[in-house]
Every structure is written in structure tokens, then in C-alpha cells.
Chains A and B, each alone.
Chain A
Amino acid sequence: MKYKDDEIIVEGIVMIETPYKKQRAHNTILYPYLNLLASVNGGGGSNIYHAPFNQFILGTDTSTPTVATTTGLTSPLSNTQVNIITILGSNANSWYVQCSYIYTGSYFPSPVTIGEIAILGIDNSSNVNGFTRLAVADGTFTAVSVNSSTPLSIQWNVYFEFGA
């Protein structure tokens, strides 16, 4: 395969798994992350505070598509905002960050339908914002129903690779 070295593609792929269903989906990258990427602040210039991918949050919205100004979830479940585990890795022509977390059933004391998921980080204005969003309303995955006996596993890989 021939790669285009004049561009880098940043892409997220998400695996969502319950005991009953496994899905693979592509996320939407949000503008706080786009702007953070562009913060190639020069040496000796003013510092920009930010943080990497380090939290997941789940939400229930199933009807609001992601748009240019989206910075997070539409209907977040605050008790599902959790610190995640990340692993840095590389392949022949890419580097990636693997973000993962397993929600136990205790996060879902009442049955609930998950329609949106986000990775959170600190943007270049020092605010916690969504960096990526996966939404049923975008047509990129199917809503997941969970309850107190249903664990939910999420593995979110963000790839940095040459253009194909």
C-alpha cells in the first residue's frame, strides 16, 4: 500500500461491547480537539495548558447529530464520567492512543439506553470539553441498553497515520 506523506489523518475507531452485542464504530472529532492539535505554540511563547484523552462519559440522547459547534454530550449521565486507561502504541505507519474502560452494572442502577459517548480532555482554554463524540443520531452506532447486571466495555483507539 502506498501512503501519502504530505498529510496525516487523525481517526478514531470505537469498540463497544456488552454480553449481548459488540459494535465497531467511527467517531466524530470535535472542534476543541481540532484547535488543540493546532496549538503548535512556539518555543518561548505563552504556555497552553491542556490534557490528553483521559475521561469517558456516556449520555442518553439519540436524536441530536454532532455539528461543528458541539463540545460534548447532549444528555450526559454525570455518574458515568470516569478516568480512563490509555496505552500508547505504534504500527508500521501509524501511532495510536488506545483508551479503554469497563463500566460495571453498578453505573446503571436503573435500566438506561446509551445513545452517545464522548472522550473528554482539557482544551487550549483550560476548559474540560469533548474531544470526540460517538452518537446514534449521527448514524454511526446503535443505541445500547444496559442495566445493573450489564457491564459495558469501551475501547477507543485514536490513530495518527499517513494519508492513504
Chain B
Amino acid sequence: MKVKVSGQGYIEHGNIKREFKNHFVTGGLQLMALLFNYAGGTNITYSNEYWYVSSAGVGVDTSTKTTFIMTGLVSPVSTLINPNVTYQRNYFIGSTASAQITILYPTSALPSVTIGEIGINGIYFLESQYPQYNPNIYESLNLMSRASTADGDFAAFAYNPANLLQITWTMIFSWV
């Protein structure tokens, strides 16, 4: 059996409620492979590694489709924020393990723009190198997945600084 990794998203902003699909990029593949390549030594007890869905961003581009080699949003408008993550799993065959990532922008977090792209980033690092988590020091920061108006994933929408913006992205891991 193989494992299939897929994603689905949901935007909530005032009266705007939209589902979206995502597009993985090679940075997402690389993160997963990095984690399972043993980078240092031969002692199993010293190989603690991490990968996180660490941050998210939004952008205003509405015309550029996602390609495998993209490493970031085309026209980002926000600084990266750390999302809140809830984690669900199920052990039984025919079921899935999943991780739900919730990204919450407070009111006035962004200027009044039209949002046309969303990106999810991940990081990977070795504990032996960075024993204290520090978002500014990492082994690898990759764009993992992007959703965009240009890909037909969601209709662009106007950001209203008076409203919260919540983006929920669920990664689903299932046997196939």
C-alpha cells in the first residue's frame, strides 16, 4: 500500500465562506523526504527531527497559475504568521490521519486588498542543531502548497480590515 497526501481548504471572512483546493509544489515533496533521510550519525536516539507547517501567507496575484517549482507567492501582501494547528488521527485501515491547520488573521492585519492566492509553508530542522525552536533559524523553509484564483481554486475576494480572516487547511494522509 502507498500513502496519498491531499489537502482541502476553507476561507471564512465576514460573509465570505469558500472551500478551495490546493496545489503541492516540489518544496512540499522535499520537506517530507528531508525528514526521512538520516542526516547525522548512526545512533537512533540522536536523530530527532521536526517538520512543521509553520506559517502561511496571502497574496494579490490573480493571473499566475501554480507551477511545481514555485518557492513562494507571486505577490505576497502579508508577513508570515504562525498558524494554530489541531491534529487528528485514526489508526484503522480505510480511515485517514489528518492534520488541520488554522490560520487566523486578526482585524486590520492586512491592508485593503483583493486576495487571490494563499500559501502554506513548512520548515524542517534537526534538534541537535537548533534545540530551541526559533522561526528565524531553520534548516529549510519551503512553500509546500498554494491555492490561487488563477488555478480556479477560489474566487478572489476583497479583504475588509474590520473582519477576521480565517483560513483552514486540512492535510489528509490515507492509504491507497
Real binding pair = yes
Give chain A's interface residue range (CB within 8 Å of chain B): 35 or more
Query: Does B53 lie within 8 Å of A10, measured CB to CB?
Result: no
Which chain A residues lie closer than 8 Å to B36 at the CB level?
Answer: 52-53, 86, 97, 121, 158
Query: Does A88 lie within 8 Å of B34, measured CB to CB?
Result: yes
Q: B84 at interface (Cβ–Cβ under 8 A)?
A: yes
Which chain A residues lie closer than 8 Å to B38 at the CB level?
Answer: 51-54, 84, 86
Query: Does B101 lie within 8 Å of A8, measured CB to CB?
Result: no
Instruction: Name the contact of A94 in the complex, choosing from B29, B49, B97, B175 (C-beta under 8 A).
Output: B29
Mask of B83-97 contacts with A, CB within 8 angstroms, 1/0: 111010101111001
Stretch at the interface among B2-10, B11-19, B105-113, B157-165: B2-10
Query: Does A41 lie within 8 Å of B52, measured CB to CB?
Result: yes
Query: Does B32 lie within 8 Å of A44, measured CB to CB?
Result: no
Query: Does B2 lie within 8 Å of A11, measured CB to CB?
Result: yes
Q: A90 at interface (Cβ–Cβ under 8 A)?
A: yes
Q: B47 at interface (Cβ–Cβ under 8 A)?
A: yes
CB distance from B150 to the nearest CB of A (A): 13
Question: Which applies to chain B's interface (DSSP): helix, strand, loop or mixed?
Answer: mixed
Query: Does A7 lie within 8 Å of B29, measured CB to CB?
Result: no
The residue in chain B whose Cβ has the minimal distance to the Cβ of A162 is B24
Which chain B residues lie closer than 8 Å to A158 at the CB level?
Answer: 33, 36
| A160→B24 CA distance, assembly (Å) | 12
Which chain B residues lie closer than 8 Å to A116 at the CB level?
Answer: none
Stretch at the interface among A17-25, A32-40, A106-114, A146-154: A32-40
Query: Does A37 lie within 8 Å of B93, measured CB to CB?
Result: no
Instruction: Name the contact of B97 in the complex, choosing from A35, A45, A128 (C-beta under 8 A).
Output: A35
Query: Does A38 lie within 8 Å of B173, measured CB to CB?
Result: yes
Q: A28-B1, A68-B91 are in contact. Are A52 and B35 (CB under 8 A)?
A: yes
**7 A-B pairs (CB sep. < 8 Å):** A10-B5, A33-B3, A42-B85, A43-B82, A43-B135, A47-B50, A122-B47
